[in-house]
Structures are given as C-alpha cells and as structure tokens.
Structure 1
Amino acid sequence: MLQEVQDLSWKYLRMYPLRDIMWKDIQINLVPLEYDDSIRLQKQILSNTIHHPIVQKYPVTLTYTRLFLKGLISMIEESNQEVFEDLYTTYTKLLSQNASSPHCDDFCYRTYNFSKAGVITVKETCKLICDGTTGMCTWEASHVLADWCCRESHRFQNKRILELGAGLGLLGLAVIQSCKPLSYIFTDLHHSVLKTLKENIYINLKEKHSGLTLQESEEATSSDDWAKGIQVSYSDTDVLIKRLDWERDTCDDDIEVILAADVVYDTDVIVHLVKILKDILSKRPRVVAYIASALRNPATYTFFKDALVDCGLHTCTETYHQYQESPSQPPVSITIHHILP
C-alpha cells in the first residue's frame, strides 16, 4: 500500500479536518497511471477508508463520509482519470440515506493510531456539550498525556493507577495497552459519560474481555452499580470503571499513580479536584499524580497552581507541550504537572 493511502486511511478513521487533507499527495501518484492502475489505486483508497473493516463496525459520521467522498471524486476528476464506478455508487447511496433525524450525526466513532499504544476506537459526540457535560468528546490534553505516558511507560508498568475525570477513556486505554499497569481505575461522575466510557472499554479490550457482555453491562447502570464499580480483566491488568464525586466521595482504593487530563477548566471544579488530590496523596505519601492541563484561561490556570500550594501539594516538575490536530486548527499549549504531597 502506498504510504499516502495509508496516511489518508488513518486521517479518515479519525475524522481529520477535510480542509487539511492534502489530496495532491494522492493526485501526484494518480495522474500518470494507466486506466487499470488508476482503478486499482481507487479501489485501494475505497477499501481503506469508506469500506475499512473498522469503519464498517464503528462508523464516522454520515456528513463527514459524504464530504470526504465528494472531495475524493473531485480530485480524481481533476486528475483526468475515470472515476471507479463503486465510488459513484457508494456516494449515491450515502446521499439517499435519511439524515433528517436531529440526532443522525450526534455520535460517531473516531479511531486513533498511536505509535506505541496501537489502535484505539472511541465513541464520542460531535458536540462540545452533550447531555449537559463536556465529557462526551476527547480533548487535547488527553492526547498529549497519552503520548507522554506511552513514552514514559516505565513509570506506569506494574503500577496501580487511578484516573480522575476519565471521560471517554482515550488516555486510560492507551496506558493499559502500552504500559501494562497492574490495575487501572477509570472514574467519572456523569452517568452518560460512564455509560459511553464502558462501551469504549468494551470496544477496545473485548478480545480478552472476561467481564460483562456489552448488552449486560448496558443494563447495569444504576447509581449503586457505578458506585461499586464494574470490573473487567484485560491481559494482566485489572480494570475498574466507577463513579467518583470529587465533592462528596473519598477514594480508598489501593493506588500508586493518579492521572488526569483536561480537568482544569473551571474554578468551582478545581476546588474539588484539589480536595480529592489532597485526600489521596495525604493518605499515601508514595503516590504521585500527573495532571495534564490545556492553557486556555491564564487566570484559571493560576487559580489551580495557587490551590495546590494552599493545600500543601508540591509540583515537582512541569513539562510543556504543543498540540495541533491539523494545520487549520490553532495550536494548544499543554502542561503536565508532576505533583507530590
């Protein structure tokens, strides 16, 4: 497979911004081809994007697929090549599908290919806020912290890890698949987030899933179930999904590492975040915390740092990172705090 086709495949699977897809990279290879070779290349593109096995099970949005195919067909026509008939057929079928439902594109699947953690598919919303929470989509700091944890896997191997505000599970899934922790506890508060998180864990760990089936786990969604936690075994890692209210709950689990990403965004939330960090770190002096924060509001960021100091927590080191999903997206500054009691 051409490297350009492989790159295009992964961009499609993660719903990479269409305006940033470099169709010219494919066009350069397509223009000089004879008819049979041109059709062969187009078949390859179709089978590795729209008809990719992952997409057949976990599709991207209908709107994105339509626009992607429209761009692909336009590029082929501009290359003075005959368009593969299946491309037209697929596009026509997509246009005929009913997209009138207001929830048609509310949810989708994005599939990410991490260099060390491998392939991770995440169900998420296309909206910034869904069901009254921002936890139904992945955010920049989770990508940065996931990459960093994979590079620093020795810090997490055979460790008992707790994630605060796990959201849809991208960070935890990357750590589980690349760092081989002894145990990993995903925690969040919102019911819809927990339900989708559980589905994402099933999607990615099901090959060695020994807990509930997806259908059964969807039924186990009462407050008591979430408070007790739902267990899953994956290889040598014990996985637990549970509800944790930073304001009202305490954490009595045996842990050695705390992870959190994109949880520093509101001063009211920060007060409770620092409280739960203090509670855990003061009980277990050997526990360390790694908190990844996007610098969006300097005042909020300063409030977080001051709150840590006021609670007697110590930031051992801070590492600075830049994340930019694509050229048209603004770069985001991310800081990873290494916090000790």
Structure 2
Amino acid sequence: MAPEERTEAAALLRSFERRFLAARALRSFPWQSLEEKLRGSSDSEQLLVDILQKTVQHPICARHPPSKKYTQSFVLELIRKHEAVHTEPSDELYEALAEVLTAEEPSQCHRSYVLPSGAVVTLAESTAIVSHGTTGLVTWDAALYLAEWAIKNPAAFAHRTVLELGSGAGLTGLAICKSCHPRAYIFSDCHCRVLQQLRENVALNGFSLQPEPRADTQRPLVTVAQLDWDTATTPELAAIQPDIIIAADVLYCPEVTRSLVKVLHRLSICLKDRVPDVYVAFTMRNPDTYQLFTIELGRAEISWETVPPHNRKLFPYEEGSETAMLRLRLEHQHREAWSPSPQGLCTEAEPVSCTALHHVKS
C-alpha cells in the first residue's frame, strides 16, 4: 500500500473507531469512503479486519460494550458494504456477526471517548433521547465541544475548583478531571435519575466520591451535588466558592435559560474574594433562545463575550451541528435584587414538560 493510501486508511480507521466507541448514529459513519476504499484497495479484506479490530473487537468494547442491537446493525452494514463490492462473502464479517448474535445483551450500554493522552472516558447512558423525563442521560454536542476546548486549554482548570452546572451524563467533567488537573470538581444536576447515573459514571471512570484522604493528590477531589437552580439557598451556593463555572447545552428552553441566569446572579452575590470565569457552551438551534440568554445576562449585569471557535477534531460530532461558547464574568458588584423577566416562559403544566417539548433540542 502506498504511503498516501496508508494515511487515508488510517484516517478512515480513526473515524470508524471514534464513532463506534461513542455509539454515534450509523448514518454518520463514512460509508461512502469505505466503499471507495474497498473498490480501489488491493487488500480490502485486511481493511475490513482492521475496522472490526477498531470497533466490534476493540478492547474497550470487551469491557464496556455498546448495545447488542447497535453492534449487530453495525456489522450488518459492514457486510452490506462488502457485498456491494465483492461477490465472495467475508468469513471474518460473518464470524463477527455470529459472535454478536450469540452474545448476551449487556445490562447497560456504553459510549467511550479516547482522549489525546490515551485515557478513556466511558459513560453508561440511556439509549432513549428522553428517559425518565429528562434529556440529561445522554451526551450532547455542546458537552463534547466544551470538553475539547478544555483539553486544549488545560491552564484554565489546573489546580482550580470547578463547578459544572447541569452535568448530565458527565462527559465534560470527566474529560477535564482526566486531562486538566483541577484541584476539585463539582458535578451538579437537579434530576434524581441523572444524579444516580452521574455517580455511576464517576465511579466507572475511577474517581471516588468518598471524603476520605486521597492517596493520589494529583487527582481532583470529586463531588456530585444536587443543585436546583430555582431553589438553591444562599448558604448552599456560598459554600461552593468555585474558581471557574462551566455549563454545556443548557440553553434549549426559555424557562431553563432564565433559571440559569438566575443561579449565576445568585452565585455572584455569594462569592467572597473570587471573580470566576464562566463558560457556557451551546448548540445553536433557536436564535431566539440565544438572544433571550444575552438579554437576561444584560438585565443581570453579567458581562459576556464570545469565545473564538476551535476546530472540532477530537470527538465525533453530529453532522451539521453548530456549536459555540460564551465567556461570562461574575463581578462582585452584582448584589442588587434581580429576577428574570416573565415574558415567554414555558407554559406547559407538568414539571418536565419543558424538557419533553424540547427533547430533541430543536
């Protein structure tokens, strides 16, 4: 194989590996590029074997497999692509399919993300977009975007106390804990089922939530906290004293957007000698929601600026998604009473209806 072909094949394998480990939608895989490679390669059988080793037979999948249905669909699609080019069946592909069909369904399905250091973040996640009345059980593109920015800017987090608002499945925080050396990391969310899954994911990635002294002082002190943005008390917020605050994909509903600004304003009142930076990453779905966020920030006298975009190379993102990030400053002088504007609140009666209405966040 020529050097150029080897480079292209390596890039193709990386793409399949990242997407399969993260259990991304099968339509997002580079199937057309694979077909072209199978037609033009003198050793297409070896290419398919390499793809199997990087996906279904990957050591990470042996420990933390995706769902059986997902793996089966992937192998069947590989078989279809192979048979579209070659008349002879592939023994390796059919053996892989037989192994999948005879395997037991795992009790949990997983998504895994390989970091530049070689460390892996593995998440047990729900297969449904909305599960138990919340969108917090899956990982959204803005969480990937913020994690990638953090990995490229580790000094922003090193030896600092980080508070994450709306941690969801935990991808961003776990990536930061494994790559950026924070002193302490506080995951937070308000939904009981999300918090349960979050604690499991923290433990799955080797972090202890126990308060006993740590043997490895290089590892952050990790906490999972229940934090309702609307009902959090002043003592509860004052006890946190973060150096940096982050949030990802929490701008999908007017009601939630106003609650976010409300808790940020209350945090600014509770701060002592800290003026933390706040980074909010989001996927641009509805310009009106973004505009509402900036308007509410202005009313709360919280300054903000757009963070320059970075190339999305590390993680497998959804095709066509537009992600961005703002940097806010919580100055001490914001001590006047403030409440969000009442216009345009979600009007559904059920507590989870706003989430259900926006379950695809579009």
TM-score (norm 1): 0.79
1:12 to 20, 41, 49: 20
Amino acid at match of 1:312: E
C-alpha distance in 1, partners of 2:50/2:222?
38
- CA distances 1:13-36 after superposition (whole Å, capped 9, x unpaired): 1223323433454556656778xx
Maintained 8 Å contact 2:111/2:122: yes
Q: Which amino acid aligns with 2:23?
A: M
- Tell which has more relative contact order, 1 or 2 (C-alpha 8 A, sep 6+): 2
Q: Greater shift after overlay, 15-24 or 288-297? A: 15-24
> 1:80/1:170 Cα in 2 relative to 1: closer, same or farther (>3 Å)?
same
User: What's the CA shift for 1:10?
Assistant: 2.4
Distance 1:187 1:110 in 2: 21
Is residue 240 of structure 1 aligned with residue 223 of structure 2? yes
| Secondary structure of 2:142's aligned partner | helix
Identity in percent: 30
Matches within 5 A, 1:143-292: 143-204=144-205, 206=206, 209-211=207-209, 235-249=218-232, 250-251=236-237, 252-284=239-271, 285-292=274-281
CA contact (8 A) 1:111 1:119 kept: yes
Counterpart-to-counterpart distance in 2, 1:139 and 1:70: 27
Task: State the 1:246 CA deviation.
Answer: 1.2
Q: Distance in 1 between matches of 2:263 and 2:118?
A: 29
C-alpha distance in 1 between matches for 2:84 and 2:67: 26
Compute the TM-score of the two structures, normalised by the length of structure 2: 0.75
**Aligned counterparts of 2:91 and 2:189: Cα–Cα separation in 1:** 47
How far the C-alpha of 1:9 sits from its partner, in A, is 2.2
Q: CA 1:138/1:74 → structure 2, altered by over 3 Å: closer, same or farther?
A: same
Decide whether the 8 Å contact of 1:211 with 1:231 is kept in 2. no
Q: Give the AA of the match of 2:55.
A: T
> What is the one-letter code of the residue matched to 2:19?
K
Task: Quote the residue 2:291 is aligned against.
Answer: 302
Residue in 2 aligned with 1:217?
none
- Structure 2 residue corresponding to 1:67, chosen from 61, 67, 73: 73
Give 1:146 deviation, angstroms. 1.0
The AA in structure 2 aligned to 1:7 is S
SS at match of 2:65: coil
CA distance in 2, matches of 1:98, 1:120: 24
Deviation of residue 279 (structure 1)?
1.8
Deviates more, 1:107-116 or 1:179-188: 107-116
SS at match of 1:69: helix
Q: Which residue is equivalent to 1:219? A: none
Query: Partners of 1:170 and 1:328 in 2: how far apart?
Result: 16
Q: How big is the shift at 1:8?
A: 2.1
Letter in 2 for 1:274: V
Unpaired runs of at least 5, structure 1: 213-228
- Name the residue aligned to 1:125: 126
Matched-pair contact (CA < 8 Å) for 1:162–1:257: yes
1:22 aligns with 2:41: no
Match of 1:340 in 2: 330
Per-residue CA deviations over 1:24-69 (Å, capped at 9, x if unaligned) read: 54556656778xx665554433233212111122111222212211
Report SS of the residue matched to 1:120.
Answer: strand
Shift of 1:328: 7.7
Name the CA shift for 1:10/1:265 in 2 (closer, same or farther; >3 Å): closer
**Counterpart-to-counterpart distance in 2, 1:192 and 1:230:** 26
Aligned: 1:76 with 2:82: yes
Give CA-to-partner distance per residue, 1:192-251, whole Å, 9 cap, x none.
1111111211222x2xx4556xxxxxxxxxxxxxxxx99988743111111111111131
More strand as a share of residues: 1
CA distance in structure 2 between the partners assigned to 1:143 and 1:304 by the alignment: 21
- Report the 3-state secondary structure (helix = DSSP H, G, I; strand = E; otherwise coil) of the residue aligned with 2:275: coil
Describe the shift of the 1:169–1:78 C-alpha distance in structure 2 as closer, same or farther (beyond 3 A). Answer: same
Which residue identity is paired with 2:329?
I
Change in Cα spacing, 1:230 to 1:54, as seen in structure 2 (3 Å) is farther
How far 1:320 moved relative to its partner?
Answer: 4.8
> Could you tell me how far apart the structure 2 residues matched to 1:232 and 1:245 are?
29
Quote the offset at 1:159 in angstroms: 0.7
RMSD: 3.3
Deviations 1:82-114 (A, max 9, x none): 444343133135446788xxxx99x62111233
